[in-house]
Structure 1
Amino acid sequence: MAVLKTLPTRRLGNGPLVPRLGLGLMGASGTYGNSLSDEERLEFLDEAYKRGQRFWDTADKYGDSEDVLGKWFAANPDKRKDIFLATKFGIMNTTTASAFTINSTPEYCRTAIESSLNRLGLPFVDLYYIHRLDKETPVEKTMQAMVELKDAGKIKYIGLSECSAESLRRAHAVHPITCVQVEYSLFCREIESPKRKLLETARELGVAIVCYSPLGNGILTGGIRSKEDATKPGDQRGLFLPWLQEENIEKNMALIDEIAAFAKGKGVTTPQLALAWLLAQGDDIFPIPGTSKTQRLEENLESLFVSLSEEEEKNIRQLGERVLGGRFQATTGYDFADTPALE
């Protein structure tokens, strides 16, 4: 096993110290067509733990991820105290993979946490996110339910995902928000936008940013060169990601090659460069790349020890700004979501 340095930590908003790089567990449950056996996934979690990766992120929407985690915690009860575990509710499973229903009502919040805790076999989770706001329930009402869960000892910290700056501000007025989880990568920097003001507002309130898809849905790994590479059984990225559509893919692949050449010149891999760029955006930024492969995990963790000069950060940003195609989440209607005013 490769021996890595002690992972650097930072305080997660108003929460505890956690590794600067978390572990996203969506892909480990077959989201991109690479579903593994329980035995393989439990072994992978063992390896992540051995390497000091203790900030784990899942959701009730991520297939059987919570069930597998429940098996791991049952087999390793003494290690539960070492893991900062986040899960989410709000995206309801449906009978078709492409359809989804958003429900952030207080009633569903209370039901969802019980289901998650049952699957995990745990009395509480460290961080509970509102995965999406349904744009019908005032965020204050959902927050009141979250505070009830905290007071009952079922969650420790509260997070939001894909919320607007105003939703964050209103939620934070009910109870301090620890972090916002939002897509943020070299190819997706919309939270920086003066129009959105999400990063600006989070920093004003002392709320951390947890970055999902920090490697551009896998495109920044360099492992995708065509739509066909991302349309294998169980993998629909080639069908819905604007970056991979016919009018964009050729120029975007050439851009990936330029980023890869920059990384090679610095003696790192393309994913390491992309993650290092994100980490350089501030100590309140926490990427959570997902993987189910130990080799990829080690590669990602090494990005914690890659330093960039101001000029390098600027040059890498300029490369990322040339990507063609918008973010997929904008097509769902629930990105940067607002909710009705509380009457």
Structure 2
Amino acid sequence: MKNRTYINNSSDTANGDKKHGMDRRGFIKTAITAGAVLTVGPAMNNMIAAETAASNTVNSGIGNKYERLALKRRLGSGMAAFDVSAIGLGLMGMTYNRSEHPDKKHCVRLIHEAVERGVTLFDTAIVYGPLNNELLAGEALKPFKGKVNVTTKFGHEIINGKATGRQDSRPATIRKYCEESLRRLQVDCISLFYQHRFDPNVSVEDVAGTIQDLIKEGKVLHWGMCEVSADTIRKANAVCPLTAIQSEYHLMHRLVEYNGVLNVCRELGIGFVPYSPLNRGFLGGCINEYTQFDINNDNRQTLPRFTHEAIRANTRIVNVLQHFGRTRGMTSSQVALGWLLNKEPWIVPIPGTTKLSHLEENLRTIEFEVNDAEWNKLEETVAEIPVTGERYNAEQQRQVGF
């Protein structure tokens, strides 16, 4: 069986124009009973050979009946380099902020299925739950210790298991949260420790210095920041090299292309991890104006972009993605993820799901070939449709962009 994959490496220049450069297509030839090789051109040095199901499938105890679908990419550079699957899995929605969810047994099995398919990057945070999302990640990924990576985040203040809504990135608090995350995740070292939100009361240099000490102590391997400005990234990286920046990025929210964040990542050799790459499920086409969100466990009901009126208006964008995908055999989710993967070889989206069908759908995005001209046309078409509603309410918006 042949799996064809594209990664068209192209960069955006400082003025936002597309700079066409590398355009290499690899072919993954895998078989359940025989190993194979992924041939990668010199220009693709950020893409690492895909492992085959026959030779390197992780023994998860649930059978090796699926091919491993996820290629690998590199976040960061130099000593901060971090090799991960081209698509990761965001775990937040398995316990937090995404309405009703399956029980723990189902979620653990889904995580195991992701490992089976080659996913090596799993994303959680202290505030998800709070705490119970890290506990789920620790339990589910314990059998794969040393074979996969779980990233987590500090910064949101948690007192007695509840989020206060405040930020606390004081050095002593970072150390405390690090120790607690190590225990919940059942690991000896946190693969990638993000500052979840900027703390205006603590200098970024103090945060970076604390992380540098934790790296020296072997408690943290790499670090990153979420939703920060280009200037903040420069200041932090000067103290302790960053591996990744995590910010919202998708066809309905492209701010990082214009505010200097992607440019500074490109300049400094820092990876980029888009969270909510499907706009909280919206670009997958399963949400409409009649969708009801759990008032006790879904933050989408508080977001201006998810009012009935906004959903109705923004559905035009989903329709564009669906139309684009029809003649290419792609779903709207695959179109949205494929567009991100095409942007840069150091971008690794982390879509979340609680459904096996959606997991496989997302991972199979890497099989499709779409050229730059087609992606550019899609961008132009989507850009003609105004996005209705801000992505965050006023309070949440104050926490981003430092």
> 1:22 and 1:41 mapped to 2: Cα distance?
15
Q: Is the 2:211–2:240 contact (alpha carbons within 8 Å) kept by the matching residues of 1? A: no
Out of 22, 40, 60, the position equivalent to 2:106 is 40
Instruction: Tell me the residue number matched to 2:306.
Output: 244
Out of 120, 123, 144, the position equivalent to 2:188 is 123
User: Does the residue aligned with 1:248 lie in a helix, a strand or coil?
Assistant: helix
User: Does the residue aligned with 1:61 lie in a helix, a strand or coil?
Assistant: coil
Out of 319, 342, 350, the position equivalent to 1:257 is 319
Instruction: Tell me the residue number matched to 1:327.
Output: 391
- Where does structure 1 lack aligned partners over 5 or more consecutive residues? 338-343
Q: Deviations over 1:59-117 (max 9, x none)?
A: 1111111111222244x1xx211102211101124699996111121121011111111
> 2:323 and 2:297 mapped to 1: Cα distance?
28
Deviation at 1:29, TM superposition (A): 1.2
Out of 209, 216, 225, the position equivalent to 1:160 is 225
Q: 1:304 and 1:108, CA in 2 relative to 1: closer, same or farther beyond 3 A?
A: same
User: Does the residue aligned with 2:267 lie in a helix, a strand or coil?
Assistant: helix
Deviation at 1:319, TM superposition (A): 3.5
Deviation at 1:49, TM superposition (A): 1.0
Instruction: Between 28-37 and 59-68, report the one with greater CA deviation.
Output: 28-37
Q: Deviations over 1:136-191 (max 9, x none)?
A: 21100011111111111101001111111111000000011001000001111000
Instruction: Between 258-267 and 45-54, report the one with greater CA deviation.
Output: 258-267
Counterpart residue identity of residue 262, structure 1? F
Instruction: Tell me the residue number matched to 2:140.
Output: 72
> 1:148 and 1:311 mapped to 2: Cα distance?
46
Counterpart residue identity of residue 176, structure 1? P
Greater RCO, CA 8 A, separation 6+: 1
> 2:203 and 2:117 mapped to 1: Cα distance?
41
Q: Deviations over 1:254-273 (max 9, x none)?
A: 33223212211221101000
> 2:304 and 2:76 mapped to 1: Cα distance?
32
> 1:329 and 1:45 mapped to 2: Cα distance?
31
State the identity as a percent. 32
Out of 254, 260, 277, the position equivalent to 1:197 is 260
Q: Which has the higher helix share?
A: 1
Out of 140, 152, 159, the position equivalent to 2:205 is 140
- Where does structure 2 lack aligned partners over 5 or more consecutive residues? 1-63
Q: Deviations over 1:234-267 (max 9, x none)?
A: 4434522222235433221133223212211221
> 1:298 and 1:29 mapped to 2: Cα distance?
20
Out of 214, 217, 224, the position equivalent to 1:149 is 214
Larger Rg: 2
> 2:72 and 2:400 mapped to 1: Cα distance?
29
Instruction: Between 114-123 and 27-36, report the one with greater CA deviation.
Output: 27-36
Q: Is the 1:32–1:234 contact (alpha carbons within 8 Å) kept by the matching residues of 2? A: no
Q: 1:237 and 1:73, CA in 2 relative to 1: closer, same or farther beyond 3 A?
A: closer
Instruction: Tell me the residue number matched to 1:178.
Output: 243
Instruction: Tell me the residue number matched to 2:97.
Output: 31
Q: Is the 2:145–2:187 contact (alpha carbons within 8 Å) kept by the matching residues of 1? A: no
Q: Deviations over 1:283-338 (max 9, x none)?
A: 0111100112211110000111222222221122124322222322775201121x
Instruction: Tell me the residue number matched to 2:115.
Output: 49
> 1:320 and 1:290 mapped to 2: Cα distance?
23
> 1:214 and 1:264 mapped to 2: Cα distance?
20
Q: Is the 2:295–2:301 contact (alpha carbons within 8 Å) kept by the matching residues of 1? A: no
Alignment RMSD (CA, Å): 2.1
Out of 296, 313, 335, the position equivalent to 2:358 is 296
Residue 83 of structure 2 is aligned to residue 20 of structure 1: no
Q: How does 1:270-309 map to 2 (within 5 A)?
A: 270-309=332-371
User: Does the residue aligned with 1:286 lie in a helix, a strand or coil?
Assistant: coil
Deviation at 1:223, TM superposition (A): 0.7
Out of 258, 266, 274, the position equivalent to 1:211 is 274
User: Does the residue aligned with 2:294 lie in a helix, a strand or coil?
Assistant: coil
Instruction: Between 100-109 and 179-188, report the one with greater CA deviation.
Output: 100-109
Q: Is the 2:305–2:389 contact (alpha carbons within 8 Å) kept by the matching residues of 1? A: yes
Q: Is the 1:28–1:35 contact (alpha carbons within 8 Å) kept by the matching residues of 2? A: yes
User: Does the residue aligned with 1:92 lie in a helix, a strand or coil?
Assistant: strand
In the superposition, the TM-score normalised over structure 2's length comes to 0.78
Instruction: Tell me the residue number matched to 1:229.
Output: 291
Counterpart residue identity of residue 213, structure 1? S
Q: 1:90 and 1:238, CA in 2 relative to 1: closer, same or farther beyond 3 A?
A: closer
